[in-house]
Chains A and B, each alone.
Chain A
Amino acid sequence: MKIQLKNSIAPLGALKKIFEHPKTLCYPEVKAQNVTGYRGFHINDLSTCIGCANCQDVCMNEAIDMIAIDVDKNPKNNSGCIPRIDYGRCCWCSLCTDVCPPDSLKLESECIWADDDSNRFLYLPKDKPC
Chain B
Amino acid sequence: MEEGFNAYRQSLESEEQSIKSTQSVVEQAIAWFRAHSMFVLAYGTGCGAIEMPPTFTSRYDIERLGVVGVATPRQADILIVSGYCSPKTLKRVIRSYEQMSDPKYIIGLGSCTINGGMYWDSYNTIKKLDDFLPVDMYVNGCMPRPEALIEGFVKLQEKIRLNSSEAGYIKYRDNYAHYRANQERLFGAQVAPSYEENFAGMN
Are A and B in direct contact (Cβ within 8 Å)? yes
Residue numbers in A under 8 Å from B3 (CB-CB): 110
Number of A-B contacts (CB under 8 A): 100
Q: Does B142 reach chain A (CB closer than 8 Å)?
A: yes
Q: Does A24 reach chain B (CB closer than 8 Å)?
A: yes
In the complex, how many residues of chain B place their beta carbon closer than 8 angstroms to a beta carbon of chain A? 38
Given A90-B142, A111-B141, A24 and B114 contact (CB-CB distance below 8 Å): no
Residue numbers in B under 8 Å from A116 (CB-CB): 135-138, 155, 159
> Which chain B residue lies CB-closest to A114?
B152
A108 to B110, CA, bound (A): 18
Are B150 and A28 neighbours in the complex by a CB distance under 8 Å? yes
Are B114 and A118 neighbours in the complex by a CB distance under 8 Å? yes
Q: How far is the CB of B181 from chain A (nearest CB, A)?
A: 19
Interface locus among B24-32, B38-46, B54-62, B185-193: B54-62
Q: Does B128 reach chain A (CB closer than 8 Å)?
A: yes
A contact set with B: CB distance below 8 Å: 23-28, 31-32, 60-62, 86-92, 110-116, 118, 121
B contact set with A: CB distance below 8 Å: 3-6, 58-61, 64-65, 108, 111, 114-118, 120, 128, 130, 135-142, 145-148, 150-152, 154-155, 159
